[in-house]
Amino acid sequence: MSLWSEKRDNSTCAHSRPDKNGPARHRRNTPLNPLTCHCLAFHNLSDCFISTGDGQTENPRNNHGMALVLTLMVVTLVTAMVVEFAYGVYVSTSALHNWQTSQQLSLAARSATQLGSRLIVEKKALEPNYTYPGVFETSQKIPFEELEGTISIRIEDEAARFNINTLVYATGAVDRNYAYPAFIRLLKALELKPDIADRIVDWIDPDNIPNLQGAEDEAKNGYLDSMDELLTIPGIDKETFERLQPYVTIYGSNVININTAGVPVLRSLPGDIDKSMAENIVHYRELTPLQIPTDILKVAGFKTVGNTMLGRFNVYSNTFRIIATATSGDIKRIIESVVAISGTSRSVLYWREY
């Protein structure tokens, strides 16, 4: 709004001083004169009121200030809405991108799992009599043009571990002739409490008669379906699980692969094998893997005791764990599976993707 207009022909400044010709007047389209306008002289334009001719005055600066405040409020609200919308679009776009990448990585991990099975079959064809080493790893760039990243494959011999499901026969009876005492030897080698064997037995066997007080409480009365199930057994805490888990399995038979078993598992074999004797087996197979069971008699310290071990171990395996990992940036997909190999065919015993 202009400080004066056509309708304000007789407008006067309320603060102007009168002269001999009467009150000071601001002429039409004539700027205010700071010498004659008292308010301008005191640099306070907010005190300058314009007479509208009907006895009322108004401050045009107030109207300008209100309009500015409203404009700033509108701009602020619009800016906030734009920022919120942009952030929502960014989050949605990022989530969609991550989901698409995750799906592509899942396909890559599945392909790597298939490749792992093929590598096992090919290696068994080249070395049909024995399985060595117990762990094989490889990695390469993802062969998808639209996806940058890597895939890795880790193959582990499940026969290198002690099968805790063999503690109890299918009839429900405990195998106290071999599996139970062998597992006790393993626990002692790991410096774990022997009563863990009884806790696992009570979890598996079908009866409700506890070997330890409270061990049958909420027992499954069936074989373990996964290794994580050990954590649900009363008396087995996380620390115990982490120490035991690398050396036990729930797949395969109760016959271990002497070419791939670790020192604690080797000490579970009959014959009172101490740590140094188990290490002799490890050193021997690093130079020459055992190709037939009687090769154990060639290992230092086993010329006599080796005969008592025959029938309790093999030199090969048919059950393997495959861990396929596909990675792109911060996104990762892992497929862990256990497969049984027979000739050129395979059967999946376990599958988990995360």
Residues 115, 257: Cα–Cα separation, whole Å = 23
Q: Tokens at residue 65, please? A: 């200030």
Q: Is the pLDDT of residue 56 over 70?
A: no
SS3 sequence of 303-338: CCCHHHHCCCEECCCCEEEEEEEEEECCEEEEEEEE
**pLDDT, mean of residues 154-181:** 97
CATH code given to domain 135-353: 1.10.40.60
**What confidence score (pLDDT) does residue 34 get?**
47
Mean pLDDT of the chain: 85
Q: pLDDT of 74-95, one tens digit each?
A: 888 888 888 877 777 767 777 7
Strands 248-249 and 162-163, by their bridges, are: parallel
Q: Where are the domains of the chain?
A: 1-58, 135-353
Q: pLDDT of 255-294, one tens digit each?
A: 999 999 999 999 999 999 999 999 999 999 999 999 999 9
**pLDDT, mean of residues 9-24:** 47
**What confidence score (pLDDT) does residue 62 get?**
63
Compare 29 and 187 and report the one with higher pLDDT. 187
**pLDDT, mean of residues 299-325:** 95
